[in-house]
Amino acid sequence: MERETQYSEFEEKTVAVNRCAKVVKGGRRFSLSALVVVGNRNGKIGVGMGKAKESAEAVRKASESARRNLVEVSVKDGTIPHEIAVKFGATRMRLMPAAPGTGVIASAAARAVFELAGVHNILTKTYGSSNPHTVVHACIEGLTVQRNKKQFAALRGGVEG
């Protein structure tokens, strides 16, 4: 019961469900894998993957995995602090801050990550692979390496100006 109240603030989105078939003597055996993103729309985001024989069970496992892998991201005025290029696997992404009112200009997989992280205005461009798994991981990597003014000031050993 305590565990439920701890995670009630988080929303989840199922990004992808893949069906895989294993051919055996009696026919085909199907298994499913699900990719789920969870976030509180206020700078906390997580991604998880689950596998099972049924889709509901795969999604449940994926959301549990995502809740265990939560990370804190830097969001400034509904957008990201600065432009960044990130690479994950065969996916390369460019994340650019946008003016208020622009919205989330991104693919479906990337949109889920940005909306649940609390980013309302962002421009993205994906190069290379558009596989939802690598796109989601590239987005999260791009968001986690972002630095705000205070963090840059601390790195330089100065005070925020």
CATH numbers and ranges of domains, the chain? 2-71 (3.30.160.20), 75-152 (3.30.230.10)
Q: List the one residue out of 20, 28, 18, 70 whose CA is nearest residue 45.
A: 70
Residues 6+ apart with CB under 8 A from 28: 21, 22
Q: What band does 6 get if pLDDT is binned at 50, 70 and 90?
A: low
Q: Please, are residues 69 and 61 in contact by the beta-carbon 8 Å criterion?
A: no
Q: What is the pTM of this model?
A: 0.86
Q: What is the pLDDT of residues 108-125, one digit of tens each?
A: 999 999 999 999 999 999
Q: Compute the distance between CA of residue 137 and CA of residue 46 in angstroms, rounded to an integer.
A: 10
